[in-house]
Amino acid sequence: MRLTKKLISEVVSNAVGIEAVDIALYLKGKKDISELIIAKDMNISIQEARALLYKLYEAHLTSFERKRDKHKGWHISHWDFLDDNIHKLNLEQHQNKILLLRNRLDREQKNEFYMCGHACARVDFDKAVEVNFKCNECGALMNPVDNSRTIEVLSGKIQELESSIN
Ligand SMILES: [Zn+2]
C-alpha cells in the first residue's frame, strides 16, 4: 500500500490526534532532521515541535538521536519518521475496528431485541422480560425488532474492512 497523505492523516489522527497530522505529513520520508529545522519549517516554537514529536514517538512513528550542537554547545534531537510503522499501525487500527464490529455482530445474531412503536429504546430479550415487555419511556408494549438489516450492514462493513487490509 502506498504511503499517501490520506493514509498518514487517518492513522496519525487515530493514534495521536489531529494536531499531529501536519507535522507527520511534513516529516514523511525525512531522516535525521534537526528539531530546530522542523520548528522553523513548521513555523512553530521548538517546545511545540518537541511536544508533537514526542507524541509521535510514543506512537512509534518517530525515533530520535540527541546530538551536541558544536557551535552552541547544547543538545538537540535529530528525528526520523518511521514510514513503515504507518502501515503497521493502520493494520492494527483496522483489526481493532473489525474486532469491535465482530462483537457487535455477534450480539445482534445471538439476541432478540424489542422496541415499542415509538422507537424510544431498543432492549434485549432479558431486559424486555424484566420490564414485562412494557417500554420504560412511554409504557407501550414492546415487540420484537427485525435486525436482519443491521446484521447485513455489519457483515458488509466487516467484509469491506477485511478486503481493504488483504
Ligand atoms: Zn416507548
- Ligand 1 geometric centre to CA of 133 (Å): 10
- Ligand 1 geometric centre to CA of 150 (Å): 20
The tens digit of pLDDT for each residue in 98-107 reads: 999 999 999 9
- Ligand 1 geometric centre to CA of 115 (Å): 7
The tens digit of pLDDT for each residue in 106-144 reads: 999 999 999 999 999 999 999 999 999 999 999 999 999
The predicted structure's pLDDT at residue 165: 77
- Ligand 1 geometric centre to CA of 6 (Å): 43
- Ligand 1 geometric centre to CA of 119 (Å): 6
Closest CA to 144 of 125, 131, 126, 130: 125
CATH 1.10.10.10 domain range(s) in the chain? 5-86
- Ligand 1 geometric centre to CA of 135 (Å): 5
- Ligand 1 geometric centre to CA of 138 (Å): 4
The tens digit of pLDDT for each residue in 26-60 reads: 999 999 999 999 999 999 999 999 999 999 999 99
- Ligand 1 geometric centre to CA of 162 (Å): 37
For residue 66, what are the β-bridge partners?
77
The predicted structure's pLDDT at residue 19: 97
- Ligand 1 geometric centre to CA of 121 (Å): 7
What is the residue-averaged pLDDT of the chain? 94
- Distance between CA atoms of 118 and 78, rounded to whole angstroms? 61
- 151: number of CA atoms within 13 Å, CB side? 12
- Ligand 1 geometric centre to CA of 134 (Å): 8
- Ligand 1 geometric centre to CA of 100 (Å): 28
> Hey, what CATH topology would domain 5-86 get?
Arc Repressor Mutant, subunit A (1.10.10)
pLDDT interval class at 74 (50, 70, 90): confident
pLDDT interval class at 164 (50, 70, 90): confident
Contact 45, 38 (CB under 8 A): no
Whether pLDDT at 1 is above 90: no
The predicted structure's pLDDT at residue 162: 92
